[in-house]
Structure 1
Amino acid sequence: MKKRAVGYCRISTLMQVDNTSLKDQEDKIKMYCKLHDIEIDKMFIDKAVSGKSADRPQYDKMINFVKENDIDMIIVYKNDRIHRSLYNLLAMIYELQEYEVALVSVTELFDTSNPQGMLFLQMLGSFAEFERAIINERTRNGRIARLNENKWVGGKPSLGYKVNKNGKFEIEEEEAKIVKDIFKLRSKGVSLAKIGTKYGFSKQKVDYILKNKNYIGVFEYDGKKEKNKINFNIEPIVSKYMWDKVNTTKK
């Protein structure tokens, strides 16, 4: 009787350099099944998501599918296509052992239905975690280097600012007018709620704008990973006098 399997493919924007497109992964999985006389029940494909992300709808559907059907194995092109974290990878395998479902990697030639495959998997998983740690370290160092050059490191800049092609802050004039008006209204005693109503902002957003030191030319960054507390100067939108005045106003 043929063994039954499902295939899982994943690619993220971070992994384009791997030369492991979704079609490549799917073709390799199908070829493996043909060579080993394995029947593929279904292919599950997640596009442009992270290996560490919990938001992988096809992955979740696959796990439920193999639990509810008589499936012998999950087949992947490479183990880091399904999990980049060794901890998460092993947790999944141990969970699926209860259903007698093995994990098979086409390129790494292991099968977790046997002890040798489990040992090899742990070794490969350790290398995958090490590789990810190196990538994170390079990303961290690159972010710090950009900050030390007074450059933006990503995300959306504060209202009133834009980032030019060189990664430097510039004032966005139309938005800056809104920021200046918010400070002006608040300095005259207008409530956060009324200011917010004028521009379609919540009270919390107005309060955040008023407390944002970017507007007096101070950019502060203390990343969760970096803990570097980098400060640098950008072009101010309001005066320090105005910023101090509205921030001593009673709510």
Structure 2
Amino acid sequence: MRKDDLYIRVSTDEQADKGYSTRDQEDRLRKYCEIKGIPIRDIYVEDHSAKSFKRPEWQKYLSNLRKSKNSKVGSLLLFTKRDRFSRNAGDAYQMINQLRILDVAPEAIEQPLDLTIPENKIMLAFYLAAPEVENDRRVLNIFHGMRRARKEGRYMATAPLGYVNKMTEDKKKYIALHEIEAPILKWAFEQIATSNFNTEQIWKQAKKKANGIG
């Protein structure tokens, strides 16, 4: 009899930002199997990003598949949406081909597609590409946001050596000179510029100054 495996994935960021829940995914998948009369074999719960398939539970799943590949019984791999499966379209296509070789049909219960209909491959391409596009857009938004913040005199990342993170009364982040580190860093650059000492000597003296020795 054909059986199915459930694959549930949520990263820490996704759970915080969008309210994804492993319990909610499992409930929906179990309900689907109950309605369809599909017996459940194994459940894999993942807490890793889907940017690649180098995930512990996914590798465990593939290992179990390969061990049972001679069983002559095909199986289903069910997940809620395509972005639970992968957020990289190229990798997703390659993995789908690997699963087919192992006689596994990967299916998203909330984005069902009958791939015997050629036109549905266009929708598959959209479902697989959309999560990757979302990731790329998020990265660009963060980049542009940080660049805009720097232009406005705000510094969002950890302050570099010689500076310290601070915040104005209206909650705007900026960096200021560190009272101890900044003068030492300035001295070190001046010594490098004048070539009075080599870098190792400068480093040792800077450490002494930081410790209140020099």
Give the TM interval when normalised to the shorter protein.
0.7 to 0.9
Contact 2:53 2:86 (8 Å CA) reproduced: no
* SS, match of residue 107 in structure 2: strand
Counterparts of 2:54 and 2:196, CA distance in 1: 40
Distance 1:170 1:55 in 2: 41
What is residue 140 of structure 2 aligned with on the other side? 137
CA positional deviation for 1:62: 1.4
Partner in structure 1 of residue 44 of structure 2: 44
Contact 1:6 1:73 in 2 (8 A): yes
**How many residues were matched structurally?**
190
Report how far residue 108 of structure 1 moved: 0.9
Matches within 5 A, 1:1-251: 1=1, 3-16=2-15, 17-47=17-47, 49-53=48-52, 55-69=54-68, 70=71, 72-110=75-113, 114-115=116-117, 118-154=121-157, 156-165=158-167, 166-172=172-178, 176=181, 180=184, 215-216=185-186, 238=187, 240-245=189-194, 249=198
CA-based RMSD: 2.9
The structure with higher relative contact order (CA 8 Å, sep 6+) is: 2
- Give the TM-score, by structure 2 length: 0.73
Q: Deviations over 1:35-54 (max 9, x none)?
A: 1111221111122x322145
Contact 1:150 1:168 in 2 (8 A): yes
Shift of 1:140: 2.0
Please give the per-residue CA displacement for 1:198-223, whole angstroms capped at 9, x wherever unaligned: xxxxxxxxxxxxxxxxx44xxxxxxx
Identity between Structure 1 and Structure 2 (%): 22
Residue 173 of structure 1: how far off its partner (Å): 5.3
Gaps (5+ residues) in structure 1?
A: 181-214, 217-237
Report deviation, 1:33.
Answer: 1.2
Shift of 1:105: 0.4
* Residue 208 (structure 2) aligns with: none
Summarize the Cα distance change of 1:246–1:12 in structure 2 as closer, same or farther, 3 Å threshold: farther
SS at match of 1:38: coil
- 1:134 positional shift: 2.4
Range with bigger deviation, 99-108 or 59-68: 59-68
> The residue matched to 1:93 in structure 2 has which SS?
helix
- Structure 2 unaligned regions, length at least 5: 201-214
Q: 2:204 corresponds to which residue?
A: none
Q: CA deviation at 1:135?
A: 2.0
Question: For 2:84 and 2:195, how far apart are their aligned partners in 1?
Answer: 52
SS at structure 1 position matched to 2:173: coil
Say whether the 8 Å CA contact 1:78–1:105 is kept in structure 2: yes
Secondary structure of the residue aligned to 1:107 is coil
The normalised TM-score by structure 1 is 0.64
Q: What amino acid maps onto 1:62 in structure 2?
A: Y
In the aligned structure 2, how far is the partner of 1:19 from the partner of 1:123? 23
